[in-house]
Amino acid sequence: MPGRPAARTGRNRGFALLIVLWTLVLIAFIVGNLTARGRTEIRIASNLVSNAAAQAAADGAVYQAIYNLSDPQPDRRWPLDGSAHKLRIGAAETVVRVSDEAGRVNPNTATPALLDALLRAVGTDDGTAQQVAQEIALWVGSAPGGPQPTEEMARYQAVGRSYGPPGEPLQTLGELRRVLGMTPEIFAAIRPHLTLYGPPLPNPQSADPTVAAALALVQESNPNAPNPAFLTAAPPIVTARIAAAARGLGNARAQRTVIARIGAMLPGGYVILARDAGAAE
């Protein structure tokens, strides 16, 4: 009988030790979990900072291009030929390219003949090219003597469309997908050669080979058409597509595509026409 209290005391001490050990395990688990979460949050915060820095670098590259294109000495400006210019902005490496938006075809102001020539230049057969070009002109309201709006609506409804040509300039290039006769393949072929910010007649000096071929087809089919070869002097205002890609710390990446009109006679020297132009158009 006298030994029982000692045995009970030993059991109590063992139980208390077990509780302490489990408590230590629990504390270690909580500390480890908090540490892991803290590391994850630090990593996320670091990635956010790196991404923000890359985005700022891409924006900075765009404005560096605008500044360069505003140089009063034309021979010091970057050529509008799409060539790569490497810049170091902070910790980010950036590549910026500038191209002349006037070298593209503007479907809002181009003649049906030029639209037809562009469609043929990308491989569309003659009959389809002529039809789609006319439909684009009717859509944007540039076709002379076109059908009445009610007649146009009836034509579209006859093929299951619930809309008709608005007879107004395109707000986005994506609207062309709704034009009668336009297929995904045709749109994908002509999309890289289009803009909503160019003149009625593209500048042949900055046109890509496809647009240059279209201009040649127009001149060949109609020698009396305005000859784009007269565009020899640099205009006082240029419309540039500026594409900047930045690579920052880690895997941080950022891209910006801006269309800007640049010239000394403009308020502030430039006007941003579109941001993230690839998506906007």
State pLDDT tens for residues 240-261: 999 999 998 878 889 999 999 9
Tell whether the model's pLDDT for residue 23 goes beyond 50: yes
Residue 279 pLDDT exceeds 50 = no
- Average pLDDT over the chain, rounded to an integer: 85
Q: Which residues contact 109 (CB under 8 A, 6 or more apart)?
A: 142, 198, 199, 200
CB atoms within 10 A of CB 47: 14
* Residue-level pLDDT at 96: 96
For residue 132, the model assigns a pLDDT of 96
Task: Output the pLDDT for position 280.
Answer: 43
Per-residue pLDDT tens over the stretch 149-196: 778 888 898 988 899 899 899 999 999 999 999 999 999 999 999 999
78 touches 85 (CB < 8 A): yes
Give pTM, 2 decimals.
Answer: 0.75
pLDDT tens by residue, 106-161: 999 999 999 999 999 999 999 999 999 999 999 998 877 666 777 888 889 898 88
Give CA–CA dist 36/42, Å, rounded: 10
Assign 1 a pLDDT band (cuts: 50, 70, 90): very low
Q: Model confidence over 69-104: pLDDT tens digits?
A: 999 888 899 999 999 999 998 888 999 999 999 999
Is residue 3's pLDDT more than 60?
Answer: no
